[in-house]
Amino acid sequence: MAVYLDNNATTALDEKVLEAMLPYMGQITGNPSSVHRFGRMQKDAIEQARESVARLAGARAEQVIFTSGGTESNNLLLNGFSKRNTDSRVAVSAVEHMSLLEPARHLSSTVDIVQADENGSINLAALERVVSEQTSLVSVMAANNETGVIQDLAPLIQFTAERDCFFHTDASQAAGKIALNFVESGVHAMTISAHKLYGPVGVGALILDKRLPISRLQFGGSQEKNLRAGTENVPAIVGFGRAAELAMAELEATAAHTYKLREALEEGLKEFSTVTAFAEKAKRLPNTVQFGIEGFDGETMLMQLDRKAIAVSSGSACTSGKAEPSHVLKAMKVPDALANSAIRVSFGKNNTMSDVEALLTALSDIIDINQHSSVMMAATV
Please identify every residue annotated as catalytic: 318
Phi and psi dihedrals of 120, rounded to 5? 80, 15
The residue among 230, 259, 208 whose CA lies nearest residue 77 is 208
Counting every residue, how long is the chain? 381
For residue 116, give the amino acid letter: A
Q: Name the strand (E) or helix (H) holding 156.
A: helix 154-162
Q: What is the DSSP string of 14-63?
A: PHHHHHHHGGGGTTS---TT--SHHHHHHHHHHHHHHHHHHHHHT--GGG
- The DSSP bridge pattern shows strands 310-311 and 343-346 to be unpaired
- Bridge partner residues of 150 (DSSP): 143
**Non-local CB neighbours of 106 within 8 Å, separated by 6+ positions:** none
Strands 275-277 and 166-170: unpaired
3-state secondary structure of 201: coil
Residue 218 class from Cβ within 10 Å (0-12 exposed, 13-18 middle, 19+ buried)? exposed
Contacts (Cβ under 8 Å, ≥6 apart) of 176? 56, 196, 197, 198, 243, 247, 251, 254
